[in-house]
């Protein structure tokens, strides 16, 4: 059986994309489908390379029984455009940066998270300069999208 290879991408890989990775991994595991997926996250920038997710992302996930504290930030690499079948950007800026970096053959793998999961054109807002409520709101948006994504993939 082929595995679905999914990469979630935001700017620094410490707020939104690690949350999306953790939520989707949790949902797939809960559904007994963890073996069907390879799930990862990355950033379009490398400012936080090697760091854990933002403490507020860790707290938002933990509040819902999901542990993302073991994740480490990384920057998207050229090999990711070959390795992953589906690359989901958290906002239009991330998508634009991915399109600039991606080889032509990989452009069809790039999608806005909300557009692909919930058929909308909304960005997942960056909660970095916000507070706990902003991270919780982002968690709720990502949960809705990831919940819709799981049945779309098999």
Contact 26, 68 (CB under 8 A): no
105-134 residues labelled b (16+ CB within 10 A) or e (exposed):
ebeebbebbbbbbeeeeebbebbbeeeeeb
Which entry of 15, 16, 40, 56 is annotated as an active-site residue?
16
d(Cα 19, Cα 5) in Å, to the nearest integer? 17
Whether 5 is catalytic is no
Which entry of 25, 123, 126, 146 is annotated as an active-site residue?
126
DSSP class of 141 = H
Whether 109 is catalytic is no
Which entry of 10, 15, 54, 109 is annotated as an active-site residue?
10
Whether 10 is catalytic is yes
- Which residues are the active-site residues? 10, 16, 126
């Amino acid at each position: 059986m082929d595995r679905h290879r999914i990469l979630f991408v935001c700017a620094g890989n410490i707020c939104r994309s690690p949350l999306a990775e953790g939520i989707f991994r949790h949902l797939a595991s809960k559904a007994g489908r963890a073996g069907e997926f390879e799930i990862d996250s990355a950033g379009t920038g490398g400012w936080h390379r090697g760091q854990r997710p933002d403490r507020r992302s860790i707290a938002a996930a933990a509040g819902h029984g999901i542990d993302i504290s073991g994740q480490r930030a990384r920057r998207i690499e050229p090999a990711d455009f070959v390795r992953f079948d589906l690359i989901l950007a958290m906002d239009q800026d991330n998508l634009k940066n991915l399109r600039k970096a991606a080889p032509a053959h990989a452009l069809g793998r790039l999608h806005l998270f909300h557009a692909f999961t919930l058929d909308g054109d909304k960005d997942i807002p960056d909660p970095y300069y916000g507070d706990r409520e902003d991270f919780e709101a982002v968690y709720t948006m990502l949960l809705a999208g990831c919940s819709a994504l799981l049945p779309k993939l098999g």
